[in-house]
Amino acid sequence: MSGLRDLKDDFLYTVCHDLRNPLAVVIGQAQLLNRALKSKGQEEEAKAAELILRNAWRMSQMIDMVTVSARLESGLAVTRRVPVDMCQAVRDAVERQEIACPCRIKFVTPCRQLWIKGDPVWIDRCLDNLLSNALKYSPPESPVDVRLYRSGDRVIVSVQDRGPGISPEETPLLFSKYYRASSSKGTEGLGLGLYISRFIVEAHGGDIWVESMEGSGSVFSFSLPAS
Ligand code: ADP
């Protein structure tokens, strides 16, 4: 069974990898077209180009998830260790999400500096995954709170939303590859974001977990060794 799954994963990886270049061309050309049509005042046509662009971006993000998970599984991806200020990393991650969803995320425990040693690119990815999930799986106007603090020799980040929560039977499965909870039906996704986040956190010597109450929201947290 696992042999068949590996074959399926290899196939999916190859297809996704090969789709990256043609998709990059679609995105580039749609951007050009959109700009050209806007400058000529052809608003309706420019909107059509924008729609192509938005959907090509969504495809590109899904492809990226598949290729990233394969890279992480190879064990070669998370090797860099540099000092990372988690206060700055969280502030930047909140700003990135605010572009799409202004005013929903609150950094409840602003701080000056909290250092860990790690790969900033992968840490950013983990923060982006948790924050974008919190926004995606909770009502559009509801707040999302981010906390960052030190506990003993660990730095802890937690992201709290006011979404539907997850049943106790499903919470242990959330960090598995391709798993999607029943409450996520109707929301787009591949079930790879939390799997990727777990890989990143564990590669840094940390832990990731969720506390959830059905009907009142979830708190996703991860801890990393402080430096
Ligand atoms: P995706 O969002 O692409 O499905 P993830 O791996 O990020 O994949 O999440 C796995 C599943 O965990 C989601 O499909 C959803 O069912 C559940 N989930 C993740 N974050 C939340 C959240 N903040 N609130 C409720 N459910 C969540």
**pLDDT for 5-62, tens place per residue?**
788 888 888 999 899 999 999 999 999 999 999 999 999 999 999 999 999 999 999 9
**Single-letter amino acid code for the residue at 154:** R
Give me the count of residues in the chain.
227
pLDDT beyond 80 at 73: yes
* Protein residues whose CB sits closer than 6 Å to any atom of ligand 1: 129, 133-134, 137, 161, 163, 166, 174, 179-181, 183-184, 189-195, 218
> pLDDT value at position 1?
61
Q: How far is the CA of 49 from the centre of ligand 1 (A)?
A: 30
Which residue has the least CA distance to atom 3 on ligand 1? 189
Which residue has the least CA distance to atom 23 on ligand 1? 134
- Structure-model confidence comparison of residues 1 and 90, the more confident one: 90
Ligand 1 atom nearest to 184, measured from its CA? 16
Q: How far is the CA of 181 from the centre of ligand 1 (A)?
A: 7
Contacts of 40 (CB under 8 A, 6+ apart): none
Which residue has the least CA distance to atom 16 on ligand 1? 181
> Which structure tokens are listed for 182?
């029943």
Are the CB atoms for 122 and 222 separated by under 8 Å?
Answer: no
> pLDDT value at position 183?
84
Query: Residue 4 to residues 8, 42, 81, 171: CA-CA distances in angstroms?
Result: 6, 51, 35, 26
Give 129-185 pLDDT, tens digit per residue: 999 999 999 999 899 999 999 999 999 999 999 999 999 999 999 999 999 998 888
Q: How far is the CA of 192 from the centre of ligand 1 (A)?
A: 9
Q: How far is the CA of 132 from the centre of ligand 1 (A)?
A: 10
DSSP 3-state of 83: strand
Give 74-121 pLDDT, tens digit per residue: 887 888 999 999 999 999 999 999 988 888 999 999 888 999 999 999
Residues forming beta bridges with residue 219, ordered by sequence position: 160, 211
Q: How far is the CA of 183 from the centre of ligand 1 (A)?
A: 9
Distance CA 59, CA 81 (A): 31
Ligand 1 pocket test: pick from 158, 184, 219 the residue with the most ligand atoms within 8 Å of its Cβ.
184
pLDDT band for 4, please (50, 70, 90 cuts).
confident
pTM of the predicted model, to two decimals?
0.91
Mean of the per-residue pLDDT values of the chain: 94
Give 179-209 pLDDT, tens digit per residue: 999 888 889 999 999 999 999 999 999 999 9
